[in-house]
Structure 1
Amino acid sequence: MSDKMIRLMKMVIAIQANPGISAQELADKCETSERTVYRDLRILDLVVPITNDGYGTGYRFIGNFAMYPLNFTEEEEMVFSILPSMLDKSKLSPLIDSVYDKVMATHVKEKQKRREAIENFTNLIQMGTPAYKADDDSPNYLLPIMEAIIAEKTLRAVYHTQSRNTVTEREIDPYCLVPREQRFYLIGYCHRKQDILMFRMSRFHGVEMTTKNFDKGDFDIHHYMKHTWSVHRGDSLITFKVKFQPDVVRYIKEEEMFVRPKMTDLPDGSLLFEATVNHEQGFLNWLAQYGPSAEILEPLSIRKQFIERLQRWMEIYN
């Protein structure tokens, strides 16, 4: 391979490893003059998507151009990034800079590709805006939260608690996202409350990923949500028996839920639905959408409450 070809390859690797690298830095790495670097860049520009956004910005690649894919853990990245400052280069091969640039080039590009993949995915997920907010007043924190979940990094967040109408700063270990009632909720360990809680995404006023690692231990989302019908969690279990009319049975059977109900088909085409939950309100809110096609059989106390609610509605509409 000619010296010129070797130099061109070095430049490609150096730009990938150091996005924004200057012509002078390229000249130093390739042991040549800035004039030669500019000439080589014009040649590379014919086959490689290189850009320079203006004075003082340096050179970088456009789009997804990359060489030699590689993957580093964050700990490996940290160690490798400080490696040059720890070595006595006078006792090493002159090729050490070239080797270092090749390795860093692969990692920088792979890290960029992972972030772009997460960003593209979050753009596919559209969330609604609370009625009291304007569209431009609702920042989307889905990307940093998903990054923190994947990297297992603690979040520093500002959160609005609706029930108390208070805004607090918290550190949260994000475990997973779940869709409930047409909204996204983050499940994670709250350091402030020292408990695993559910956070509604639209109530975050600020989110920042820290450098702190966390371990979610033996946390299991299905165990955590085992008896939780929607987002409210209680301490006592309540077993419901509901009879659904034939016109809604097929819709009930395709409902997606963490609670595992017992369903029994009845001779007249209706459905006996039995479920044990730890908070009644979420279940009753879900049940109300089926109107007279859903009849609460048990518990009798809840059945009576529902009758009283219907009577109050009748008074309003009469």
Structure 2
Amino acid sequence: MSVDLKKRFDRIVEILIQLQSKKVIKAQELADRFEVSLRTIYRDIKSLEQAGVPIIGEAGTGYSLIDGYRLPPVVFTKEEAMSFMGAEKLMEKFTDKKLMSDYKSAMYKIRSVLKHNERDSLSAIENHIIMGKSSYETFNQSVPHALQTVFESIAHKRQVALSYKGANDEHPDVRTIEPIGLFHENNFWYIGAYCLKRDDYRQFRADRIFTIEILSDTFTKKHITLAELLENRNSQIVATPVHIRVGLATAPHLDWQKKYFGFTHEKKTGEYVDLFFDLKSSLEYFARWFMMFADDATILEPPILQQMVETILNESITRFKNPIKAL
């Protein structure tokens, strides 16, 4: 079998698996997945139909398999089996307890259909992967089922009631929301949702949820997609250009944190490194971060940031010279 023929055969088999895994799949999605032209996908679909696979649909609307048609049990390659272990370890760190429990249950079923040598390979590497514990809580431990509740809400288009404590709130506030998606950003999970109380779209950080419950009420309207919500959010944020100069010895220590402030690029200038940012978060937040290494850094722009740091520094000096006596 020639290399090109084998590639086409493998792609057609993968297309068949994709058709079984989704209710409807568009040709463009398949073309993007396999990095081929739409014409190639149309030809592959035609080949499957000629082989007797009952495909319904057409170009432009999407394809699906007739209900009841199923492939024989799937056989995993060694590499695919290994990937499950990596995914399981990531799930331990990045999901809540309920979702992790469901995933482990699914993994037991997957292991049961693996070949003996594949199961042995998983067991051999299982204890050689450790995900370090985070220094912060990604979820409120009293709400171990937050993500699963949101998944169910989206699937059945049912409202969710939650008590939520924002960053500036003194007490949790009860909200009724219609979730449109979940996204992971800056080490936290967020729920993108339509908030009935605010009559607008909002995002809710998972670790700030105190209670969550799915309701019997269905969604009140058709919503925008999560991608549209994030695009709208980002388009409304005006970035502030920030330029600071940091000593060569200090600059490497900022590599991990600088990305959270809209870091764009850097330029070495003699004994210093110039760092450039398009800041979309609070200037005060940046100013307080800057204070951590201010003894070896200079703010070149904007002037308002210089003034802000000066104010914080003067207040700190005043407090240092006039300490509050312990009770």
TM-score normalised per structure 1: 0.48
User: Who wins on radius of gyration, i.e. which is larger?
Assistant: 1
